[in-house]
C-alpha cells in the first residue's frame, strides 16, 4: 500500500471512528462527572428497550394469517411471472436418426445452467422389433431388448456419448449449410 492510501482505507476509517467514539464518550462522561462509558451503555439500554417494545407488541391472529396469505399470493404471482414460455428452435424437430447399429430417439430440453438446448432421454431401439432397449451395464455397453431378447455388448453397441456428439454435429452442419 502506498504511503498516503492507508488514510483512505475503509479499515482505517472504521477503526478510527470507533476509537474516536469511545474517546468522545469518555470525555463527555468525565466533563459531566458521570461514570465512564455511560453514553454507550445508554445506547445499548435504548436498543434493548426498543426490542422489548417490539416483542411485547399486541398482535392479532388475523394479522398473522393475512400476512401469510399475502406472502403466499405474492410468491405465487412471482412464480407465474417468472416462468416464460420458451419457444423451441427449428432444430428441436430433429428427434430421431439411424446411426452405426440402431435407430435412436431423443428429446430436447432447455437447460438454464448451460443456457442452451441439451439432448435428453436418449433411447436406442432394437434393430429387430424397434422396441426401446435397456442399458444393463454399469461399465461398458450392454443393451438388451425387453420384447425379443436381442442383446448387444461393447463393440456391437452405439456409444450414447458419441451418438449425442454426432447429433449436435448434425445440427451444426445443418445450420452452417442453411446460413449464407
Same domain? 60 vs 132: no
Same domain? 77 vs 97: no
Q: Which of 47, 82, 117 is the last residue of a domain?
A: 82
Q: Which of 82, 116, 135 is the last residue of a domain?
A: 82
Q: In terms of C-beta density within 10 A (0-12 exposed, 13-18 middle, 19 or more buried), how is residue 145 classed?
A: buried
Q: What is the pLDDT of residue 4?
A: 62
CA dihedral 174, 176, 177, 180 (to 10 degrees): 140
52 φ, ψ (degrees, to nearest 5): -65, -40
Same domain? 75 vs 119: no
Q: Which of 38, 64, 82 is the last residue of a domain?
A: 82
pTM for this entry: 0.49
Residues of the chain with pLDDT under 70: 1-4, 33-39, 82-86, 137-139, 179-180
Q: How many domains does the chain have?
A: 2
Same domain? 64 vs 131: no
Same domain? 17 vs 78: yes
157 φ, ψ (degrees, to nearest 5): -110, 155
Residue 172's domain comprises: 90-178
Q: Which three cell numbers stand for residue 171?
A: 445440427
Amino acid at each position: 500500500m502506498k504511503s498516503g492510501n492507508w488514510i483512505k482505507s475503509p479499515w482505517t476509517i472504521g477503526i478510527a471512528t470507533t476509537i474516536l467514539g469511545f474517546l468522545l464518550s469518555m470525555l463527555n462522561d468525565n466533563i459531566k462527572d458521570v461514570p465512564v462509558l455511560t453514553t454507550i451503555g445508554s445506547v445499548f439500554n435504548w436498543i434493548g428497550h426498543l426490542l422489548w417494545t417490539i416483542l411485547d407488541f399486541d398482535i392479532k391472529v388475523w394479522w398473522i394469517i393475512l400476512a401469510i396469505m399475502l406472502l403466499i399470493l405474492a410468491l405465487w404471482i412471482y412464480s407465474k411471472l417468472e416462468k416464460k414460455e420458451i419457444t423451441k428452435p427449428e432444430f428441436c424437430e430433429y428427434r430421431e436418426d439411424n446411426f452405426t447399429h440402431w435407430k435412436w430417439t431423443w428429446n430436447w430440453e432447455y437447460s438454464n445452467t448451460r443456457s442452451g438446448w441439451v439432448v435428453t432421454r436418449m433411447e436406442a431401439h432394437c434393430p429387430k422389433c424397434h422396441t426401446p432397449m435397456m442399458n444393463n451395464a454399469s461399465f461398458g455397453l450392454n443393451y438388451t431388448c425387453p420384447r425379443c431378447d436381442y442383446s448387444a455388448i461393447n463393440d456391437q453397441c452405439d456409444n450414447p456419448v458419441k451418438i449425442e456428439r454426432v447429433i449436435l454435429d448434425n445440427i451444426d452442419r445443418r445450420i452452417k449449410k442453411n446460413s449464407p
